[in-house]
Structure formats: structure tokens, C-alpha cells
């Protein structure tokens, strides 16, 4: 079980007409990180923010950035992601032919490295990389859109990943992204998650800071 559950609100569900106001609300909340979804319309069937917008987001955010790249060849943008002041750069397993090299490049750039798995990608494929990464991000929806329904099989993946991390003496955190709310969040905490990403649950809540507080309180 985790002692220090982290909450990473996903900016994809924010009010884009008032990004500044929503980021300031996150700043004033108990959120630990700010989750940023970058999409390219190729790896996933959607496009989100580009770097000119993210530069502005990064200036406003007082929370460390947890950047999730849903793009092909993410290694091409390591410098741009670093320039945002990013703490954690997450790349998809499915998007990296030479994953070990990309992980090293991210670390050499001075960031923490996260590897992300799509719902159909088995945890066992991380056996030979899990000791080298700072975080594993398990997708609990198919990436590309906010507001989708949580895929329950993710709970088994969290438990399996917990075992793999222990077996390989890895220090990797486990983050889950997609369809996280108070109900699925509680089940994920039980399964052993370290970081919850929440988009709709946070940004569509009438009291955003209150919802972040409630998610944070799911901690054991
Ligand atoms: C989906 C993104 C998620 C998304 C989560 O592709 O990676 O971060 O914003 O949104 P919710 O929490 O609404 O499922
Ligand atoms: Zn994400």
C-alpha cells in the first residue's frame, strides 16, 4: 500500500476559455502535480496542446509538470519538454522502438522518466526496463480523450506491476490515467497505486479543490 498518494489533475478537462483560472485553482489545491496530455493525431485519434500553449501553462503552474506524450517518436521533443521545466516525461511503450535509449535520453536531459502502457499492453513487457524507470503509467482507458469509462482490468495490472517492481528492486511509482473518480480511485489505492490522474472528476466538479482533497484522502 502507498503512504503518499499523489494526485495529478489532467489539464485536458480544464476550461480552455479560462485556462489561467483553472491552473490557479490547481495551484491553490492539494494537487501534487499537473498532468499535461500531448497528442499528435497519429499515435492517438486526437490533437491537444502544442508547445506555445504549454509554455504559458508552465509559467502559470506552481505544481510540477507530469507530461504524458501520446505521440510517435517522442524522443524528438525531449528538449522542448525539458524547457517547460517538466519533472516527469512519460512516453508510450508502444511508441518507442528503442525504449531503453529514450529512457536514458530523458534522464540525461535532467528529467524523471515514465513509461506508459495502453490497456492491451501487458505489464510483463516491462520486465527488462522497470528497474530503469521512475514511473510506470498504466492507461485505464484508450488514450486520446477525457471522460471515458475506467477499464476494470487495470486493477489486476496494478497488482501485477506492484509484484514486478518488488521483484526487480525498482523504485518506480505506479500512476493510473483514465476514468479515475472517487470510486475507481479507492479500488486503485487498494490495488497499490501511487499516483492518480483525474481529468473530468476534478475539472467538472463544482468544488475542484474539495474533489482533489477527497481524492487525496483515499490514501491508506
Ligand atoms: C486520455 C488522457 C487522460 C485524460 C483523463 O488520453 O491521457 O489524461 O485527460 O481524463 P479523465 O480523468 O476524464 O478520464
Ligand atoms: Zn494522460
**What spacing in Å lies between the alpha carbon of 214 and ligand 1's midpoint?**
19
The mean pLDDT of the chain is 97
Write down the pLDDT at residue 3.
61
Mean pLDDT of the 131-145 span: 98
Catalytic residue among 37, 40, 66, 134: 37
Give residue-wise pLDDT tens across range 112-121.
999 999 999 9
User: Under 8 Å CB-to-CB from 88, ≥6 apart: which residues?
Assistant: 33, 64, 65, 66, 67, 111, 112, 113, 114, 134, 135
Q: What percent of the chain has pLDDT over 70?
A: 98
Confidence of residue 40 (pLDDT cuts 50, 70, 90): very high
Residue 122 has pLDDT above 90, yes or no: yes
Question: How many helices and strands, by DSSP H and E, does the chain display?
Answer: 8, 8
Q: Report the C-alpha gap between 60 and 108 in whole angstroms.
A: 26
128 noted as active-site residue: no
Q: What is the DSSP string of 104-147?
A: HHHHHTT-EEEEEE-TTS-GGGGTTTGGG-SEEEEESS-TT-SS
Confidence of residue 190 (pLDDT cuts 50, 70, 90): very high
37 noted as active-site residue: yes
Mean pLDDT of the 203-214 span: 98
Which of 109, 113, 111 has the alpha carbon at shortest distance from 133?
A: 113
What are the CA-CA distances from residue 142 to residues 32, 66, 129, 139, 150 (Å)? 24, 19, 23, 7, 9
Nearest ligand 1 atom to alpha carbon 200: 13
Confidence of residue 2 (pLDDT cuts 50, 70, 90): very low
Cα 98–chain centre separation: 21
Write down the pLDDT at residue 220.
60
**What spacing in Å lies between the alpha carbon of 203 and ligand 1's midpoint?**
11
Residues within a 6 A CB radius of ligand 1 = 10, 12-13, 35, 37, 68, 141, 143-148, 177-180, 197-201
Which of 178, 179, 214, 172 has the alpha carbon at shortest distance from 194?
A: 172
What are the CA-CA distances from residue 152 to residues 134, 176, 196 (Å)? 24, 12, 15
Nearest ligand 1 atom to alpha carbon 143: 6
pTM for the whole thing? 0.98
Amino acid at each position: 500500500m502507498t503512504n503518499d498518494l499523489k494526485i495529478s489533475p489532467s489539464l485536458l478537462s480544464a476550461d480552455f476559455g479560462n485556462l489561467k483560472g483553472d491552473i490557479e485553482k490547481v495551484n491553490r489545491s492539494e494537487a501534487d502535480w499537473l498532468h499535461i496530455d500531448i497528442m499528435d493525431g497519429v499515435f492517438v485519434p486526437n490533437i491537444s496542446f502544442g508547445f506555445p500553449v504549454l509554455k504559458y501553462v508552465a509559467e502559470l503552474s506552481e505544481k510540477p509538470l507530469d507530461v504524458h506524450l501520446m505521440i510517435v517518436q517522442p524522443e524528438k521533443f525531449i528538449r522542448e519538454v525539458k524547457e517547460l521545466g517538466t519533472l516527469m516525461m512519460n512516453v508510450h511503450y508502444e511508441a518507442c522502438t528503442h525504449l531503453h535509449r529514450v529512457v536514458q535520453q530523458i534522464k540525461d536531459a535532467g528529467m524523471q522518466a515514465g513509461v506508459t502502457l495502453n490497456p492491451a499492453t501487458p505489464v510483463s513487457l516491462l520486465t527488462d526496463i522497470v528497474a530503469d524507470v521512475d514511473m510506470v503509467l498504466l492507461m485505464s482507458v484508450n488514450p486520446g480523450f477525457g471522460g471515458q469509462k475506467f477499464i476494470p482490468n487495470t486493477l489486476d495490472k496494478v497488482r501485477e506491476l506492484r509484484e514486478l517492481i518488488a521483484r526487480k528492486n525498482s523504485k518506480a511509482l505506479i500512476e493510473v490515467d483514465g476514468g479515475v473518480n472517487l470510486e475507481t480511485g479507492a479500488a486503485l489505492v487498494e490495488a497499490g497505486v501511487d499516483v492518480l490522474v483525474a481529468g473530468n472528476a476534478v475539472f467538472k466538479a463544482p468544488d475542484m479543490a474539495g474533489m482533489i482533497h477527497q481524492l487525496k484522502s483515499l490514501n491508506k
